[in-house]
């Protein structure tokens, strides 16, 4: 008996151009990502409408949307459910659900209909080990040049941490603006890591000059980046 061939879809990776598509959403038709030129995008999927974890996530995203808008970031959601299911679910959230002090929450960012799973497969949101018919909780950070900058995957059972999504966005924007890196557990206002010295002379100079930065060794130096400067970018 000959083995059954499985279609292999190459998942986009960090540094790739974000795959393009046209879609129907709860906010009208979109061309992705070109409709959001010059913006950051957080493109995220959820397994299904009318499920409790997804409901808690959409309420949280909707409540905090203005925070991401202030960071020049557009939220775009996706589910393999149909448009009318999306509309009914979002109406239910607004009219009936109260959770952690959130109520009358209106989801204003687009939620993509993907019944054919074409977009979900294109972005590697379908993980057969979890389910062959549900998108896992994927998050793609796409920069203003339509490049994928970060990818986070969560299992179906675990809700996302929205403070971390916002922190990751700010960290990438800060790294771009100041040509630095951010250390473990970095929060806006914490010290940042400066590029590693590229010559023996610069390494020696850094280790001897303690005024502008703190060097733990020649390859690991940090400097202050006040919160006010982070906010201005």
170, containing H or E segment? helix 162-178
* % the chain with pLDDT above 90: 72
Which band of pLDDT confidence, cut at 50, 70 and 90, is reported for residue 5? very low
Arithmetic mean of pLDDT over the chain: 90
Q: Exposure of 88 by Cβ count < 10 A (0-12 exposed, 13-18 middle, 19+ buried)?
A: middle
Contact 138, 155 (CB under 8 A): no
Say which residue, 164 or 155, is predicted with more confidence: 164
Distance between CA atoms of residues 197 and 80, nearest Å: 48
- For the question of residue 221 being annotated catalytic, the response is no
92, containing H or E segment? helix 83-96
Distances (CA, A) of 22 to 7, 72, 90, 112, 115: 22, 22, 22, 10, 13
Distance between CA atoms of residues 117 and 125, nearest Å: 9
* Contacts of 67 by beta carbon, 8 Å cutoff, 6+ apart: 166
Q: For the segment 98-126, what is each residue's pLDDT rounded down to a tens digit?
A: 999 999 999 999 999 999 989 988 998 88
Q: For the segment 28-43, what is each residue's pLDDT rounded down to a tens digit?
A: 999 999 999 999 999 9
Please tell me what DSSP assigns to residue 68: H
Q: Exposure of 178 by Cβ count < 10 A (0-12 exposed, 13-18 middle, 19+ buried)?
A: middle
Q: Which of 54, 73, 215, 221 is catalytic?
A: 54
Query: Is the pLDDT confidence value at 140 over 50?
Result: yes
Query: Is the pLDDT confidence value at 96 over 80?
Result: yes
């Amino acid at each position: 008996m000959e083995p059954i061939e499985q279609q292999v879809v190459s998942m986009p990776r960090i540094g790739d151009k974000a795959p393009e598509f046209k879609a129907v959403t709860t906010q009208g038709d979109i061309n992705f990502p070109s409709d959001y030129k010059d913006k950051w995008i957080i493109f995220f999927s959820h397994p299904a409408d009318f499920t409790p974890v997804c409901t808690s996530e959409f309420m949280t995203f909707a409540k905090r949307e203005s925070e991401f808008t202030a960071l020049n970031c557009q939220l775009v959601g996706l589910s393999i459910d149909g448009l009318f299911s999306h509309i009914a679910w979002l109406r239910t959230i607004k009219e009936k659900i109260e959770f952690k002090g959130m109520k009358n929450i209106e989801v204003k960012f687009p939620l993509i209909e993907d019944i054919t799973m074409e977009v979900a497969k294109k972005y590697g949101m379908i993980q057969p080990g979890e389910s062959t018919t549900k998108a896992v909780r994927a998050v793609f950070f796409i920069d203003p040049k339509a490049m994928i900058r970060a990818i986070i995957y969560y299992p179906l059972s675990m809700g996302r941490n929205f403070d971390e999504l916002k922190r990751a966005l700010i960290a990438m924007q800060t790294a771009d603006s100041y040509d630095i890196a951010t250390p473990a557990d970095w929060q806006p206002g914490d010290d940042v890591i400066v590029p590693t010295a590229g010559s023996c002379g610069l390494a020696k100079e850094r280790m001897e000059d303690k005024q502008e930065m703190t060097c733990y060794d020649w390859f690991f130096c940090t400097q202050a980046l006040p919160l006010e400067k982070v906010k201005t970018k």
